[in-house]
Amino acid sequence: MDEDRDALIARLNTLRSEHRDLDTVIARLSQDAMADQIHLARLKKRKLKLKDEIAWIEDRLIPNIIA
């Protein structure tokens, strides 16, 4: 079970890093008036997908305790 948890934590760190990198790229491209809007939209969609996957992994790592 610890191996599964370690694998999830490693994946979570990778996803968070990619999410931050995409945020930087999107911010830079958004400032460029000549930026490819289709490419920008795809990057934003990828960022949202990463956010969803991050949330899913965080839900698995944090126990659901009903108070």
Banded pLDDT at 8 (limits 50, 70, 90): very high
Q: In the chain, how many domains are there?
A: 1
Asked if residue 57 is part of any domain, the answer here is yes
> For position 67, what pLDDT does the model report?
58
Asked if residue 7 is part of any domain, the answer here is yes
Banded pLDDT at 1 (limits 50, 70, 90): low
Asked if residue 54 is part of any domain, the answer here is yes
Range of the domain at 33: 2-61
Asked if residue 66 is part of any domain, the answer here is no
> For position 2, what pLDDT does the model report?
82
Spatial contact of 11 and 50, defined as CB atoms under 8 Å apart: no
Asked if residue 67 is part of any domain, the answer here is no
Looking at residues 4-10, what average pLDDT do you find?
94
- The model's pLDDT over 18-65, given as tens digits with 9 standing for 90+, comes to 999 999 999 999 999 888 999 999 999 999 999 999 999 999 998 777
27 Cα distance to chain centroid: 15
| Distances, alpha carbon 15 to alpha carbons 32, 33, 37, 54, in Å | 26, 29, 24, 7
